[in-house]
């Protein structure tokens, strides 16, 4: 897979995303299978000498099922967007027949990146500047951290 296929229209580098080919979904599925086999839900429904935490079983189970089902199998470009659904940035690029926002002159003032900002901050726009400077095949080793909590 070349660098362009690993780079989403918005400038994010999909191999850095925690969902791509993740381990947590596989491990969560294994845990779900094991817990089902030993019928832990029935154990958790009765007061336990091990503590009251098991009363939160339903919430825990909901999150565990979500973890088991959120593995991403393909980067954005070949996969048609996150979960196979095009976001507003991808649709905008495709309407303009751009390979990515790095072909656009309106990046700085574009407000379509708002949904990425809580987790990724300015990373996508910073990456786009790197792509504009170095080209799509030679920018990846200059990319910013994916998540705002990464140092």
Contact set with ligand SF4 (CB under 6 A): 8, 12, 14, 17, 19-20, 72, 75-76, 79, 82, 89, 92-93, 96, 98, 101, 104, 106-107, 110, 112
Task: Tell me how far apart the alpha carbons of residues 29 and 141 are, in angstroms, rounded to a whole number.
Answer: 33
Nearest of 17, 145, 133 to residue 82 by alpha carbon: 17
Q: How far is the CB of 96 from ligand SF4 (least distance, A)?
A: 6
* 67 or 75: CB nearest ligand SF4: 75
Least spacing, CB of residue 132 vs ligand SF4, in Å = 11
Q: Which of 8, 4, 144 is nearest to 76 (CA)?
A: 8
Q: How far apart are CA 90 and CA 99, in angstroms?
A: 9
Residue closer to ligand SF4 by CB (options 44, 136) is 136
Placement of tokens 């791509």 in the chain: 20
Shortest Cβ distance from residue 59 to ligand SF4 (Å)? 24
- Give the residue with the Cβ less far from ligand SF4, 19 or 132: 19
Minimum CB separation of residue 42 from ligand SF4 in Å reads 35
d(CA 117, CA 147): 9
Helix (H), strand (E) at residue 25:
helix 24-37
Distances (CA, A) of 51 to 39, 45, 47, 116: 18, 12, 8, 39
Whole-number minimum distance, CB 21 to ligand SF4, in Å? 8
Pick the closer one to ligand SF4 by CB: 112 or 143: 112
Residue with Cβ nearer ligand SF4 (72 or 123)? 72
């Amino acid at each position: 897979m070349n660098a362009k296929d690993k780079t989403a229209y918005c400038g994010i580098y999909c191999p850095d995303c925690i969902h791509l080919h993740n381990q947590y979904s596989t491990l969560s599925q294994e845990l779900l299978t094991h817990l089902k086999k030993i019928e832990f839900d029935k154990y958790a429904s009765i007061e336990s000498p091990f503590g009251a935490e098991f009363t939160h079983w339903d919430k825990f189970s909901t999150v565990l099922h979500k973890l088991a089902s959120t593995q991403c199998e393909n980067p954005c470009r070949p996969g048609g967007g996150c979960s196979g659904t095009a976001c507003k940035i991808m649709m905008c690029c495709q309407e303009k027949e751009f390979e990515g926002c790095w072909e656009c002159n309106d990046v700085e003032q574009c407000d379509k990146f708002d949904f990425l900002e809580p987790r990724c901050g300015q990373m996508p726009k910073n990456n786009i500047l790197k792509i504009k400077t170095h080209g799509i095949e030679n920018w990846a080793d200059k990319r910013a951290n994916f998540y705002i909590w990464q140092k």
